[in-house]
Amino acid sequence: MIKIQDIRDAARDMLAKGEVRAVIGWQRGSRGMAAEPVVINAPEQADGLVWDPTCYHNLSLYLVNDKKAQAHAKQKPTLPIAIIAKGCDARSCVVLMQENYFRRDDIYIIGVSCEGTGVIDERKLAVALGGVKPTSAAFDGDDYVVTLPDGSEKRLPAREVMADRCLECREPFPKENNIALGEDKTGRALEAPFAALARFEQQSEAERWNYWQRQFDRCIRCFACRSVCPMCFCDECVVDSIEMKVAPTTSAEEKASRVRWIERSNTLADNFGYHMTRAMHLAGRCIDCGECERVCPVNIPLRLLNNKMEREAREQFGYEPGASIGGPSLVSSFRDDDPGTWIR
């Protein structure tokens, strides 16, 4: 099991030696037990880093945010930035480097193995504890141990409260790393890959259609799923209206005829358009960190959509997102023996 002191020492040493300009990690949060992302840039700040089952966030998003901030300030850092990365975080770093958003030298990856333990699903935990909000959570073998507000501890089997993405995780060890902490326990997943998707697909086509209609009808188009996704780094998103300068002389017809792929209104049809467009955009790029589903305020099971695309890519093309920096991306390559004749 990883010792938090090892993570803190690694971050502190790199900052003290001037090897990196900052370290992205997790610190104790301000809303109960959950950890929250933090960027530290001084060695003494390393003592505030934490590592526990509440480190939900995919920290590669903050690499993207950092790059945008540097570009806005017209700065070109001379030192890399370090990131403490779980297996899924490291795979998203690989996709970003594969797409040339970063160079490998721009990032220093401190890999932390989940060792088959994964992170807690807050919604499952709320059900298991009847709404009681624990003050802390820790790994303990195959169980989680949470501390309740009265100081007592409760042991919960990981299978009951672990996030679905972690139950099915195939790569809990960050294979792309500069240093790695913890054991490689790949293959220790508690459920088979795509198990939740397989259960969902046991329904008839009509049942699944009705299900998604109900789900998308609840979408409020807050774009939290897009904002939390490290792969949604485009400066201009296809689902937003194309920018149009409106002058006093602009006619109503000109305003009405501006290019709009998807309206911003949250009608069922536009919600379908938004989520289908996003799922297609993430095909071969989503590494199943599950952040889009975690942050959805109306609990739409978005991971099922992305899992569907991921499984198709795997079964049809043998493609695994986040497996290789130098490998071709899914949608920009083809094989001579591709099963689809239209591509030749």
pLDDT tens per residue across span 21-58: 999 999 998 878 999 999 999 999 999 999 999 999 99
Highest mean pLDDT among 29-38, 285-294, 332-341: 285-294
**207 pLDDT exceeds 80?**
yes
Query: pLDDT digits over 223-238, tens only?
Result: 999 999 999 998 878 7
133-147, 180-194, 225-239, 281-295: range with lowest mean pLDDT:
180-194
**332 pLDDT exceeds 90?**
no
Q: Which two tokens stand for residue 299?
A: 């609990």
- Amino acid of residue 141: G
Cα end-to-end distance, the chain, whole Å: 50
**Closest of 117, 148, 108 to residue 54, by C-alpha:** 117
Helices (H) and strands (E) in the chain, counts: 13, 8
What's the rounded mean pLDDT across residues 163-175?
91
**141 pLDDT exceeds 90?**
no
pLDDT confidence of residue 170:
85
**Closest of 35, 18, 17 to residue 26, by C-alpha:** 35
* Average pLDDT of the chain to the nearest whole number: 90
**158 pLDDT exceeds 90?**
no
